[in-house]
Amino acid sequence: MKRLLIILSVFLGITTNAVHAEPSLIPAPPELAASSYILMDAYTGDILVSHNADEKLPPASLTKLMTAYITEYELARGDISVDDKVTISEKAWRMKGSRTFVREGTRVPLMTLMQGMIVQSGNDATVAIAEHIAGSESAFADLMNQHAKLLGMKGSHFVNATGYPADDHYSTAHDIAIVARATITQFPENYPLYAEKYFTYNNIRQPNRNRLLWRDKSVDGLKTGHTEAAGFCLAASAVRNGTRLITVVMGTKSDEARASESQKLLDYGFRYYETRKLYSRGQVVNDARVWGGSQNTVKVGFADDVLVTLPRQDADSLPASLQMNPEIEAPIKVGDVLGKIVVGTADNIVLERNVVALEPVEQGGFFKRMFDKIKLFFMNLF
């Protein structure tokens, strides 16, 4: 029996009469004066532009994005609290480079240290956080590498929490984009910290070094970095009209360059691409036939929202087909995969996503199961 194929023609602007539509013409992306860079859709994870994005480079203070991610992870687990009073060690106090100017022996609220780390890029605040979570910075670095592996960051190795120059400490633009995306999507409650323009501690007011926070109202994060070896780096994110993009630019020549080159990449992405929500979590796309069940049909849909990154001109001109499993038999549990949706053409498949049972179906009685088997047998003869 052939796989059941249902053509969807009315769902959220996806049409089936545009298979032969002319493809969008998109210019080549800008070439940036940077060693490595990437442009990623924050919601789908799709990579729109990349250049040397998997090259292992010193990440400087972009490292703090991983430290912040782990902090937010531990907060979500309930293992630490933003109200925790963190004792500042001599090591933290003596840290060089960017500082929050915390004093040795004082007890500082964790939230204050997070602001110092994210807004001021304070190395002292960062080390204090690492020690609070893992006991020592070296133990925290082990934790960073474990989380990097779980996130799929294949080109990173961390030996400290700050990005202070050290042998065998490296990452990639791609990996930094991955942890930035995880921060945005997994811990949105803490994300407003990345948009703060100033933070004052110990009567010292310092600005966020991300120039785009002042230049582009759509930009709301994330982090700068700079060392002599790394050059000037910036991980930025912005949202416009429901589309959120992430850029990571590494190895530019100046503070101004990292901002202007990141802006070029963001403007290109928003000009030519958009994130489209095709289907919602729990949306019913079919009532599929069930054999041998206590009911004859089961509602089929999606376990999560279905998002896709598309060229703007193509957003309303893609076909979609729903391919159901040929024989669906009870019992069925919520979440059982019963088929898949395919968006795009045979030559250009944009997305494939499983469709699942949205309700349980128990087995029917003996006579119901027997009757359905007989009926199914004769149907398969033809």
375 belongs to an annotated ligand binding site: no
Backbone angles phi, psi at 340, to 5 degrees: -150, 160
Are residues 225 and 234 in contact, defined by beta-carbon separation less than 8 angstroms?
yes
Active site residue 321: no
What is the distance between the alpha carbons of residues 180 and 191, in angstroms, rounded to a whole number?
10
Paired tokens of 295: 């009911």
Active site residue 36: no
What is the distance between the alpha carbons of residues 110 and 49, in angstroms, rounded to a whole number?
37
Angle CA 146–151–157, to nearest 5: 50
Taking the chain, what is the end-to-end CA distance rounded to the nearest angstrom?
9
Q: Reduce the DSSP state of residue 22 to 3 states and report it.
A: coil
CB neighbour list of residue 217: distance below 8 Å, 6 or more residues apart:
none
Of 217, 324, 310, nearest in space to 263 by CA: 217
Under DSSP, the state recorded for 329 is B
Annotated catalytic residue: which of 36, 98, 121, 317? Answer: 121
Paired tokens of 171: 């990452």
Paired tokens of 257: 């360059």
Annotated catalytic residue: which of 61, 89, 156, 317? Answer: 61
Annotated catalytic residue: which of 64, 89, 98, 237? Answer: 64
Q: What is the dihedral of CA 252, 70, 53, 159, to 10 degrees?
A: 70
Helices (H), the chain: 64-77, 90-94, 110-118, 123-134, 137-151, 173-186, 212-215, 255-272, 366-380
Binding residues: 223
Residues with catalytic roles: 61, 64, 121
* Known binding-site residue numbers for substrate: 223
